Structure 1
Amino acid sequence: MQLSLFSLPQQDNFSFDIFNIPDTKKAEKLRELAAQMQSIIDQKKNPAIGNQRATHRRKTIAQGIIQEGIELETIQSWIKAIAQMWEVGNIPPVLRGFYQKSQVEALYRISQRKNTPQDIQAIFNEENYQSWLKSLSRAGLHTASEIVSAIEEIQQIVKPEEIDTTKQQLNKLELEIIGMKSGDFFSTPESVCQRLIELADIQPNWRILEPNAGSGSIASCITNYPNVQLEVVEINPTLRQLLELKGFNLVGKNFLEFNPNHLYNACIMNPPFCEIEEHIYHAWKLICRKGILISIVPESVFFNRKYKVFKEWLYSRNTYDEKLEKEAFLQSNNPTGVATRIIKIIKP
């Protein structure tokens, strides 16, 4: 007897779902969509206005732009999650119609405002939500329960508590320190950091101290060198929190009270100018023979009479000094027009 496809015997547990077969083409298209978002995310998380002279208005605007970047990054992670489902072949029915960024963004925006089927049902008659609901309708979601189900499916892969909150905290703190006036804090511009590091001539296996680490500008440059042991000190609580989030090895708070049980091959610093002498004298005690002390100092050290003894101390140790550009620190997050130099001393 000849059997047709329509006369095959039925099996109680037999099922065949073409959507639960891996589809690498759909996965690749979604990943391309996610990748296209990266440049916009980067721009928003590092807004140009954040690099301008700090004002309350600019800080507020920058904070809003950065928050937009963080939200876009989460939407990007949702797109990647759907791509992963297609790739492994476990895409649930409520997510099979998503193929545009606007659809995923609509789902994310609603998830941030409404949590239950009842909440979502209520927005079907609200004008402000109609564009999002139309996007979700094109993705095949027509009811509140379907929308809730789609959100839950994505969050099984991208759990809200697993989204990188460290970046969000860092961005928040970075904005807080713009214009910070306490503690004589002026973050070191990148070009100045690079020059400090060049003069240090860092060698492998060195133990290095950054005694007034601030927001980590100098320390970040030091970490580009492999096989060095970097330790940092910072007294300001907000800046300490920032340094901890960035993963630096905080070993002390008040540098003038810091007395480790070992010496350093190099001390690279931008100390508070109000205590410039005390900080440099103390740093000198903490470096080993042939060790290097490199510091930014105000130009006034070399012509103001109150620094006469300190200047003699520097010259008695064959100190190298190098003038920085007049406007070097106008590029700082906390800009200042104070003229500065770099000094370098090698301990005999």
Structure 2
Amino acid sequence: MKRPAIYSRPAKPMSIPVRRRDDFAKLEPLTVAAPVTVDKFTECHVTPGDVAARMVHYLGPQGDYLTLEPSAGTGQLTRALLAAGHSQHELTQVERHNRLAAGLHQLGPVVNRCFLEWAAEVRGKVEYPRIIMNPPFSEVRKHVAAALWLLGRSGHDEPAVLVALVPVTYQHQDAETLETLPPDTFATAKVHTKIIRITK
């Protein structure tokens, strides 16, 4: 007796209808921000975002104040200023490192110079009622002193204010210590730091 075939071909070819859809939304191209890399020779210690925001708060409310960022680096303090409502049109960023300076132009005006040299040249010609800075730790005294040359009311009734992030060893007779920061604030620098404010 012949067994029936287990498999048999269907009488008609099988087909599955497939509908074409053209109504899918087009995907936006994926963009990845270039990582910020800092050459160790720049002595640029990037200010954490939360610390930068607090420094801007200590600086005081925004207004028509000329504002100076003497060691602008990667622009962390500038971004915090702009996020708080300070105007980029009254901001001066100073950064001597060419590559870092090139990345700052989108945030506001940049002076691509050594801050110490530039400050000596403009001393007595301009006053900044607001200065915010994270200076090179190895030359902190020189940089804060140069910034104080430029700190002035510039016609405002309110006192001029300088807020700086400095090593805990830095002392100035007019400086008010606002915060002592945790030891791990900067991953690349084993320096204990604090935030100070000087008014004039």
TM-score range, shorter chain: 0.7 to 0.9
Structure 2 residue aligned with 1:267 = 131
Structure 2 residue aligned with 1:239 = 100
Structure 2 residue aligned with 1:203 = 62
**CA deviation digits over 1:220-260, x for unaligned, max 9?**
1112214461110001111111212x342013511111233
Q: How does 1:187-336 map to 2 (within 5 A)?
A: 187-224=46-83, 225-227=85-87, 229-244=90-105, 246-258=106-118, 259-260=121-122, 261-289=125-153, 290-301=159-170, 311=171, 314-315=172-173, 317-330=174-187, 335-336=188-189
Instruction: Return 5+ residue gaps in structure 2 as ranges.
Output: 1-20, 154-158
Query: How many Å separate the matches in 1 of 2:175 and 2:47?
Result: 25
Structure 1 residue 262: Cα displacement: 1.6
Deviates more, 1:226-235 or 1:280-289: 226-235
Query: How many Å separate the matches in 1 of 2:76 and 2:168?
Result: 21
Runs of 4+ more than 2 Å apart: 318-321
Taking structure 1 as reference, are residues 296 and 183 closer, same or farther at Cα in structure 2, changes over 3 Å only? Answer: same
Q: Counterpart of 1:280 in 2: which secondary structure?
A: helix
Structure 1 residue 209: Cα displacement: 0.3
Deviates more, 1:235-244 or 1:210-219: 235-244
Deviates more, 1:274-283 or 1:223-232: 223-232
Query: How many Å separate the matches in 2 of 1:339 and 1:324?
Result: 7
Query: How many Å separate the matches in 2 of 1:242 and 1:276?
Result: 24
Letter in 1 for 2:97: N
Taking structure 1 as reference, are residues 318 and 183 closer, same or farther at Cα in structure 2, changes over 3 Å only? Answer: closer
Query: How many Å separate the matches in 2 of 1:233 and 1:343?
Result: 20
Cα RMSD, aligned residues only? 2.2
Structure 1 residue 270: Cα displacement: 0.4
Taking structure 1 as reference, are residues 294 and 219 closer, same or farther at Cα in structure 2, changes over 3 Å only? Answer: same
Query: How many Å separate the matches in 1 of 2:82 and 2:43?
Result: 25
Higher relative contact order (CA 8 A, sep 6+): 2
Question: Percent identity at matched positions?
Answer: 27
Structure 2 residue aligned with 1:156 = none
Taking structure 1 as reference, are residues 250 and 339 closer, same or farther at Cα in structure 2, changes over 3 Å only? Answer: same
Q: Which of these residues, 28, 33, 52, is aligned with residue 26 of structure 2? A: 33
Instruction: Return 5+ residue gaps in structure 1 as ranges.
Output: 1-24, 47-170, 302-310
Letter in 2 for 1:196: M
Which is strand-richer, 1 or 2? Answer: 2
Query: How many Å separate the matches in 1 of 2:167 and 2:74?
Result: 20
Letter in 2 for 1:255: F
Q: Counterpart of 2:126 in 1: which secondary structure?
A: coil
Query: How many Å separate the matches in 1 of 2:111 and 2:43?
Result: 21
Q: How does 1:110-259 map to 2 (within 5 A)?
A: 171=34, 174-175=35-36, 177-178=37-38, 180-224=39-83, 225-227=85-87, 229-244=90-105, 246-258=106-118, 259=121
Deviates more, 1:199-208 or 1:219-228: 219-228
CA contact (8 A) 2:78 2:107 kept: no
Taking structure 1 as reference, are residues 209 and 250 closer, same or farther at Cα in structure 2, changes over 3 Å only? Answer: same
Query: How many Å separate the matches in 2 of 1:233 and 1:208?
Result: 11
Query: How many Å separate the matches in 1 of 2:143 and 2:97?
Result: 16
Taking structure 1 as reference, are residues 300 and 242 closer, same or farther at Cα in structure 2, changes over 3 Å only? Answer: same
Structure 1 residue 266: Cα displacement: 0.8
Which is helix-richer, 1 or 2? Answer: 1
- The aligned length equals 169
Structure 2 residue aligned with 1:85 = none
